[in-house]
Chain A
Amino acid sequence: MRALPLLERKLLRELRQIAGQAAAIVIVVACAVATAVMSFGVLRSLDAARAQYYERCRFGDLFASLPRAPESAAEAIRRLPGVAGLQTRLVADVAVGLAGTEEPIVARLLSLPERGEPEVNAIVLRRGRFLGADDAPEVIVSESFADAHGLVPGARLSVLVGGRSREMVIVGVALSPEYVYALGPGMIAPDDRRFAIMWTARRVLEGALGASGEFNDLAIRVKDPAALDAVARQVETVLAPYGAADVHGRERQPSHAFVSAMLHQIAGVGRIAPAIFLFVAAFLVHTVLGRLVEAQRQHIGLLKALGIGDAAIGRHYLELALILGAAGIAAGVAAGTILGSGLTRLYAGFFHFPALSFRHDPPSILAACAVAIAAMGLGAYRGVRAVSRLPPALALAPPAPPGYARTWLERLARRGPTVGTLRMVLRHLARFPLRAALTITGLALAVALQIAMLFSFDALDRMIRFHARAEARDFSVGFARPLPSAAIGEVARWPGVVKAEAWRMLPARLGSGGQGRVVNVTGLTQSAALRTLLDAKLGAVPVPRQGLALPGKLASLLGVGVGDSVTLQPLGSPRTLEQPVARIVEQYIGLDAYMDLDALNALLPGEPAISGADLAIDPARRGEFVRALKGNGIVAGISERSAVLASFRDTMVRTLTLIVSFFVAFAGVTASGIAFSSARITLSERGREFATLGALGFSAAEVARILALESAILAAFALALGCLLGVALAWLIVQRLDTELYRVPLVISARTVVITVLVVVAASLLSTWSVARRLRRMDLAAILNARQ
């Protein structure tokens, strides 16, 4: 076997000498590559799974819902030139009774066509069979619900629809591209035990709702996605005679929008985090290699004197950087694959795709590797350039002693006690300002990344506190049909009810200056105590006696503020009313408008009515209350506040914990790598200085304190800068997450800052300690007697 070329052998031996710093570089590069591999792999996996799913099920491009319209209207839409296909449906939210289950269950019941598969929005049957051809009381249920309750084909349940309870038999278990992420009414996170998607025969629903030959929901596929808006306008025109309809594209289809928001978020992280890690890796290579070259001046002079060319020597050091880069890339791809698979499994738990498995995204892996190699090369460049430029005679001579001067830092220090060691540290930092700046920047980026990740939990806490404060009710029930206002008196007498407050919900289109949104306008009583409107600081906002209270996001979408007017057109109604905007309120999830119940009733024809009630329940009688509800023919929807908050917290914690822990750990590792590298270089550069202090009688602990002091100063600057950058990064994330579906508040708690500070301080202390240990082993006599 031919021996390695000499320079390569030298390289490998030197790698062993700088093993600690080399490991730090490899780990940071691995973090960068792993983040990219994981994020973009998960992104590609979800994107591909979704695209395949949509294609397979002919997922709609346009969606419309309205109170009622005849099939003839659908035929008119079908004839529109841009329409490729459509499916009309009847959809109703219904209460479900399941033997042996205490908790209240709500289902969205959708009709399936009599014959064949739906033309648009087909479902994927997972178990059992499709519905029979007759109008037997059969349902297909969503897989997540079936799994949550252990339901199999043949199981029975009761469905309260059209004011009548019906026994239905489950014949199949299915998935739908419309409910990849399924949110029930009043829910802010998926709850598979309490919310089901069910499909039944069109004729069954027509009978139950008294809607023969009519539909209230429409899904359309268009021929040319570019003409989507034009088709939407045409659909609105066709449906106009049946009152305002909510016509929207995929961007406001809740499930699609949630999945898109998640993909958007992953893509953001996938871009920002690797960039941070690669910057840090480039910096580490720069400092470590720079120092190595400096320490090897005389070797380099010798190599040159032996006639080895500049290019060969330059390549020699570049190879060192590239070996480390290659090791980092290999480790990163492996770690990214493992983490990506884990994350994909996690998403598969609450995004209901027929098939979701992790797959790599080769272009982004290649890009990450190319950027990693480029960063390493760039980091090595200065050191290599310095090598090439040194004439052999100069290189063989010892370097000139560093020139020090008094600094502005020192003037700062002079105000305090004149400590010689502090002066040494400050002057050393000022002597190499670029290195100090890079160390601070690298550490600050690690700090920023931690804050930007940990703040998610603060935002989550704030959102939970917000909902807990806004909703003092125990239950909210929706009636199957509007009831006269006086019915609230009867509701208050239900078993276990301590307090009942009526509300009326009116789906309506709000518009202003060409902008419009279909939202629920909820009428609340002036004395409502079980539901409170809040501002961003969690302060109560009274329900306006006249006009609307709008969430800030909705107001900005409509381009209105307090005092402006908006048009209000109830869905299914030809009338358009003007309403002033009286208050702006905060709302983190969804978009709803609020007004006074009496004012809302006054706007609408007919007797004052209510469509549901918020209830406070005697906790001791909760079971009695829930059992009574099941036999109650007027309740179609029910949500329990504690369950809503619990499922929200559970979902968020499940999704956040893995990714946040991952980034916090990476940031901690990065901070340690930087701190270690910085301390190690200080030790190697100033070994003689520290040995001199030893000879003057300073103990190893006292000398270590100099290292610690330098680390502490760098860490302090980094923490200050990192906190600012972290807030900026969190702000960017908040902007990125700001959608019509949900908004995330920018809240950074003391806990987040404390954790971040502790991680950085621990990383600095640990690194300094590991370097300081070497001080104890230092051979003072050998260092001091070596020729300078």
Chain B
Amino acid sequence: MRGEKIHSVRGLTRIYRTGPDEVHALRGVDLDLCSGELVALLGPSGSGKSTLLNLLGGLDRPDGGEIRFRGEALASFDRRALADYRRRHVGFVFQSYNLIPSLTARENVELACDRAARPIAAADALEQVGLSARMDHFPGQLSGGEQQRAAVARAIAKRPELLLCDEPTGALDSRTGVQILELIERCSVELGAATVLVTHNGAIAAMADRVLSLVDGKIVEARRNAPRRKARDISW
């Protein structure tokens, strides 16, 4: 089910330079993202999928091409505007959770919502991810799965228009991983956000509306899953 177009990406390139070497992480990627859509970026290591995710989230800047968010080119944003873009419109879920260790689960969520227009209360967000009972625990006191739930709660509480999940199950066992995917699936539907899920696991990609396969920085295949698989039916 596709909503309005949120992002449009054209001719995106990104080159990493280490000494004399140049690594072309992205070589002219075109992509549109619509609200309510779950897109999987599938590819092996080094295919450019995380790079694309970082560019979409405004964590990095491209060397060529453009990303437009609701018609505005991200390239025209200065540092502050780009930070504001992330703060208001983007939710991140990382493989390494990246919770602030000195803040409790609830405080981590609260921290992410301070400029959101109509955020979900931190307690509600944590309840949605099944972490009500442990919301006042510090990350160091939570298991990996619980930390990732907290990270999902943090990402969704601001009601982002773009939810970016980079290998969210990479550090988890498969049972816990499936639980996290179910959360992402449910939240993406409930929020109506455009959700991008980076994975190298074809099984996980089956839960997406659309699967974009990347190899050597290019989208080599774009396909639709009809119908998409439920997250709970996925196993690996």
Where the two chains meet, the residues of A that have a C-beta atom closer than 8 Å to any C-beta of B are: 400-405, 420, 423-424, 427-428, 431, 688-689, 691-702, 776, 779-781, 784-788
Contacts and interface: CB of A to CB of B under 8 A. Distances in A.
A787 B50 CA distance: 14
A416 to B, nearest CB: 16
B144 to A, nearest CB: 10
Q: Which 6 A-B pairs have the closest CB atoms?
A: A697-B87, A697-B86, A781-B54, A427-B102, A699-B83, A403-B140
A402 B140 contact: yes
7 contacts: A400-B140, A402-B101, A404-B138, A688-B98, A692-B99, A695-B57, A697-B83
B134 to A, nearest CB: 15
B141 A696 contact: no
A412 to B, nearest CB: 16
B63 interface: no
Interface string B99-137: 111110001001110110000000000000000000000
Contact of B102 (A404, A688, A696, A784): A404
Contacts of A427: 102-103
Contact of B84 (A401, A423, A695, A697): A697
B54 A423 contact: no
A784 B100 contact: no
Nearest to B16: A782
Contacts of B99: 692
Given A423-B107, A427-B102, A786-B96, A695 B138 contact: no
A784 B166 CA distance: 10
B83 A424 contact: no
A420 B111 contact: yes
A401 B139 contact: yes
A427 B139 CA distance: 13
Contacts of B54: 780-781, 785
B96 A424 contact: no
A588 B95 CA distance: 73
A480 B54 CA distance: 96
Contact of A697 (B90, B94, B139): B90
B103 A785 contact: no
A779 B86 CA distance: 15
Nearest to A700: B79
B85 interface: yes
B88 interface: yes
Given A423-B107, A697-B88, A788 B59 contact: no
Contact of A423 (B97, B98, B103, B140): B103
Interface of B: 50-51, 54, 57, 59-60, 79-80, 83-88, 90, 92, 94-103, 107, 110-112, 114-115, 138-141, 154, 166
Contact of A696 (B96, B112, B138): B112
Contact of B59 (A404, A689, A695, A786): A695
Given A404-B101, A785-B94, 13 more contacts: A403-B138, A420-B114, A427-B102, A694-B83, A695-B59, A696-B92, A696-B111, A697-B85, A697-B87, A697-B90, A699-B79, A700-B79, A781-B50
A149 to B, nearest CB: 70
Q: Is the contact region of chain A dominated by helix, strand, or loop, or is it mixed?
A: helix
A784 B60 CA distance: 12
A641 B88 CA distance: 74
B138 A697 contact: no
Contacts of A403: 138, 140-141
A788 B170 CA distance: 12
A696 B101 contact: no
A430 to B, nearest CB: 9
A781 B102 contact: no
Contacts of A692: 98-100
Contacts of A691: 98
A699 B80 contact: yes
A698 B87 CA distance: 7
A693 B87 CA distance: 9
Contacts of B166: 785
B154 to A, nearest CB: 8
A702 B60 CA distance: 19
Contacts of A787: 96
Contacts of B92: 695-696, 784
A698 B141 contact: no
Given A401-B101, A404-B101, A785 B50 contact: yes
A697 B57 contact: no
Nearest to A400: B140
Contacts of A699: 79-80, 83-84
A781 B80 CA distance: 17
Nearest to B84: A697
Nearest to B102: A427
B40 to A, nearest CB: 18
Nearest to A787: B96
Contacts of A788: 96-97
Nearest to A698: B83
B182 to A, nearest CB: 24
B72 to A, nearest CB: 16
A649 B133 CA distance: 72
Nearest to A780: B59
A431 B59 contact: no
A374 B85 CA distance: 53
A693 B100 contact: yes
Q: Which of B101, B139, B140 has the most CB of A within 10 A?
A: B101
Contacts of B140: 400-404
A97 B85 CA distance: 87
Given A404-B102, A405-B138, A693-B100, A780 B60 contact: yes
